[in-house]
Amino acid sequence: MLRNYIQTQQARLMEQQNSFYTPNGIHVYVDSPLSNKDIDLEKLISKVENTIPSHLLSEVEMVIVGWFDEFEERKINAFYKDGTLHVSNIQEDMEDMYDDVIHEIAHSLETPYGYEIYGDKKIEKEFLRKRKYLYDTLWKMGYKIPLSVFMDPEYNEDLDLFLYEKIGYDKLSHIVEGIFISAYAPTSLREYFATGFTEYYLDSNHEFLSKVSPALYQKLSLLQKPEKLDNST
């Protein structure tokens, strides 16, 4: 029957759109449909593959689009875990989603390239200098948080919530202007790296990033050169 045939074809087409492999072999799977129907996922992932050098994409085996408990628990909209990039299906537009994907690719590189990224502590020193500045500024504004909290490069949920909810990112963006590239960059050393990585690929000019975070910029430039990296161990 014609009707049945059309239904089968439609179902097949839907399945194809919900699950596909990219030329680099990344499996893209849509668990919950995207809130914005204008987002072309194949186009978006293809843009990612054309922008990020292939040696920096090797950790990502799968991209799942959907809604996960972690998003609610941690108030995030994407995370990377065990070779899989989880991205929220609730997205404003293509750019919004593209940023999230690039950001999580940065996190995928922290284990294989951990030594190259953090080993010489250059990014950490730069990050903590900026954190000290932020501490001083907030202290003057009446926010008396112990210095030890700001001098710890690891993620601290209380500090994250303090910056995100108590101060708020609108206000924080002004406070950190010229010090951090965004309000999210001071969150932790790992987020400092991931926000810088994202900026590196979003703005090919690099002027802003290299000026605000020179050590981070140098490190990101090094990551572009596979021959300079040794992640064989």
What is the C-alpha to C-alpha distance for residues 84 and 61, in angstroms, rounded to an integer? 6
To the nearest whole angstrom, how small is the minimum distance from the Cβ of residue 158 to Zn ion?
18
C-beta closer to Zn ion: residue 59 or 191? 191
Candidates 1-9, 21-29, 37-45, 193-201; binding stretch for Zn ion (CB under 5 A): 193-201
Residue 223 binding Zn ion, by CB under 5 A:
no
Q: Is 52 in the site for Zn ion (CB under 5 A)?
A: no
- DSSP of 173-226, one letter per residue? HHHTTTTSSSSSGGG-HHHHHHHHHHHHHH-TT-HHHHHH-HHHHHHHHHHT-G
* Residues in 202-221 at the binding interface with Zn ion, rule: CB under 5 A: none
230: exposed, middle or buried (C-beta count within 10 Å: 0-12, 13-18, 19+)? exposed
Rounded to a whole number of angstroms, the minimum distance from the CB of residue 65 to Zn ion is 17
Q: Which of 48, 63, 175, 194 binds Zn ion (CB under 5 A)?
A: 194
Looking at beta carbons only, is 57 or 194 nearer to Zn ion?
194
Q: Are 19 and 28 in contact (CB under 8 A)?
A: yes
Tell me if 102 contacts Zn ion by CB under 5 A: no
- What binding mask, one character per residue, do residues 148-187 give for Zn ion by CB under 5 A, x or -? ----------------------------------------
**CA–CA dist 173, 81 (Å, integer):** 29
Which residues contribute to the site for Zn ion (CB under 5 A)?
Answer: 191, 194
